[in-house]
Amino acid sequence: MIRTLALCAAAAVAAAAHVPPAAAQSKPPAVERDATTAEFEKFRAVLEADNPAELFEANGAELWKTPRGPKNASLERCDLGLGPGVVKGAYVQLPRYFADTGKVMDAEQRIVHCMVTLQGFDAAALARQPFSNETRTPDPVAITTFVAGQSRGMKIAPPQTHPQERATYAIGREIFFYRAGGYDFSCASCHGEDGKRIRTQQLPNFTRADEAIRSYQGWPGYRMTGGVMHTLQWRLWDCFRQQRFPEPGYVSDSLTALLTYLAVNARDQVYKGPGIKR
Amino acid sequence: MADPMKIRAKLEGDVLDVRVLMAHPMETGQRKDAAGNLVPLHFIQTITAQLNGKPVFEAETSQAISRNPVFGFKVKGAKAGDKLSITWTDNKGDKRTDETTVGSG
């Protein structure tokens, strides 16, 4: 279903001119923060001081430079968009178009691509158990955490210069507003309006530039529930689960489109690196 | 040896504020894995710290402490250039030692 939608949307935008991102011209009024939310944010700030995510960042750094896999090669020639081996600043400039694959790719998708092409790992094997559990953290998760850490303190800046980058943004927006599943939910059902909340979680409005950053901020994130490291691939998978949607494919193009939509909306906001979650 | 710890030691006057992040599964022995089997008890039992080779901190800990814990303590009488060494041992006989040199704060 998503694939058919993607093809329709692609055909529609193929003929369209440049599609501007959602950032408003005038600044909309700031979303109200109640006292409870303020307390939670203070609590989170204290937790961020010593974040177990650093342990996974260090693991990822090791995995990046260690020769591994059937080809016994390191990832130091992996091109994340800024040239082979350039990691600093790459995460915030993704998703982007890659000439060698002819498509727009996000961070984890590109890392998996490098693991497969440079190191000879099997993509299907990586997709079989892509997410962390209490006993195991998959290599792409640790590597993505390392790569994300190398963009700490930098502005979110995914390019929208290539026509495919703009088309991918448009597809991501279509998916964001697409209602489906048993509850007839879209991403926008929870994240398309100001002032929404589920239990104690305030729901940011990702269509606003100043709130879209909250989709990216803190991911990859160390989740204290279970003590596990998770990336945006997991977070979007969990969103689909919460919406009662079918499972998205690991590092599939529909997730790239959604990530493009979110990243472009969050443009110019400062990314603080891997975070910590409840 | 197990995964390295991350040690942060901040000097305020002669008091060293130490925070150490340790990588450890810290299994309580009560959790069941996906197959329904009990995951065996595996936890950090002792944490010790030495300043220039002299013991300054000792703790006996239990499985009640969370996975990948952060431990904080203060040491009086420290100065820049001192060597801080932290060691943990667990109930399976594994251990890990990491060191850092105190900066000027």
Whole-number Å distance between alpha carbons of A122 and A118: 11
First to last CA, chain B: 30
Taking only the tens place, the pLDDT of each residue in B25-43 is: 999 999 998 889 999 999 9
Centre a 10 Å sphere on the Cβ of residue A189 and count the other Cβ atoms it contains: 15
Token code pair at residue A160: 């929208």
Residues in chain A with CB shorter than 8 Å from the CB of B66 are 224, 227
User: Is the whole-model pTM more than 0.80?
Assistant: yes
Note whether A227 contacts B: Cβ–Cβ < 8 A.
yes
ipTM of this predicted complex? 0.86
Q: Read off the CATH number of the domain in which A58 is found.
A: 1.10.760.10
pLDDT at B55: 96
Select from B68, B71, B86, B98 the residue whose CB has the most chain A CBs within 10 Å, as the one to mutate to test that interface.
B68
**What is the tally of helices (H) and strands (E) in chain A?**
11, 9
Centre a 10 Å sphere on the Cβ of residue B2 and count the other Cβ atoms it contains: 14
> pLDDT at residue B91 above 60?
yes
Instruction: Collapse the DSSP code of A158 into the 3-class scheme (helix H, G, I; strand E, B; otherwise coil) and give the result.
Output: coil
The secondary structure element, H or E, covering residue A59 is: helix A53-65
Contact A227 B70 (CB under 8 A): no
pLDDT at A25: 46
Centre a 10 Å sphere on the Cβ of residue A199 and count the other Cβ atoms it contains: 4
Residue A27 lies in a domain: no
Residues in chain A with CB shorter than 8 Å from the CB of B8 are 50
What lies within 8 Å, CB to CB, of A161 at 6+ separation is none
Note whether A58 contacts B: Cβ–Cβ < 8 A.
yes
Domain count, chain A: 1
The per-residue DSSP string of chain B comes to: --PPPEEEEEEETTEEEEEEE-----B-S--B-TTSPBPPPB-EEEEEEEETTEEEEEEE--TTSPSS-EEEEEEES--TT-EEEEEEEETTS-EEEEEEE----
The full set of domains in chain B, from first to last, is: 6-101 (2.60.40.10)
pLDDT at A16: 39
Instruction: Collapse the DSSP code of A200 into the 3-class scheme (helix H, G, I; strand E, B; otherwise coil) and give the result.
Output: coil
Torsion of CA A250, A251, A254, A258, to 10 degrees: 110
Residue A7 lies in a domain: no
Identify the residue whose tokens are 């409840």.
A278
CA distance B99 to chain A (A): 16
Residue A206 lies in a domain: yes
Mean pLDDT within B40-64: 96
Encoded amino acid at A102, one letter: G
Token code pair at residue B73: 């303590």
> pLDDT at residue B75 above 50?
yes
What does each of the 278 residues of chain A score in pLDDT, given as a tens digit?
Answer: 444 444 444 444 443 334 444 444 455 666 666 777 788 778 777 777 789 999 999 999 999 999 999 999 999 999 999 999 999 999 999 999 999 999 999 999 999 999 999 999 999 999 999 999 988 999 999 999 999 999 999 999 999 999 999 999 999 999 999 999 999 999 999 999 999 998 888 899 999 988 999 999 999 999 988 899 999 999 999 999 999 999 999 999 999 999 999 999 999 999 999 999 88
Torsion of CA A30, A203, A250, A12, to 10 degrees: -60
CB-neighbour burial class of residue B23 (10 A; exposed 0-12, middle 13-18, buried 19+): buried
Residues in chain A with CB shorter than 8 Å from the CB of B70 are 50, 52
> pLDDT at residue B54 above 80?
yes
Centre a 10 Å sphere on the Cβ of residue A148 and count the other Cβ atoms it contains: 29
Nearest CA among A39, A265, A45 for reference residue A157: A265
| B68 closest CB neighbour out of A49, A52, A135 | A52
| Alpha carbon separation from A12 to A8, A15, A18, A32, A167 (Å, rounded) | 6, 6, 12, 37, 9
Residue A28 lies in a domain: no
Q: Which domain holds residue A44?
A: 34-277
> pLDDT at residue B20 above 70?
yes
Residue A11 lies in a domain: no
What lies within 8 Å, CB to CB, of A55 at 6+ separation is B3, B6, B21, B23, B68
Residue A13 lies in a domain: no
Note whether A76 contacts B: Cβ–Cβ < 8 A.
no
Residues in chain A with CB shorter than 8 Å from the CB of B21 are 50-52, 54-55
Contact A227 B68 (CB under 8 A): yes
pLDDT at B29: 94
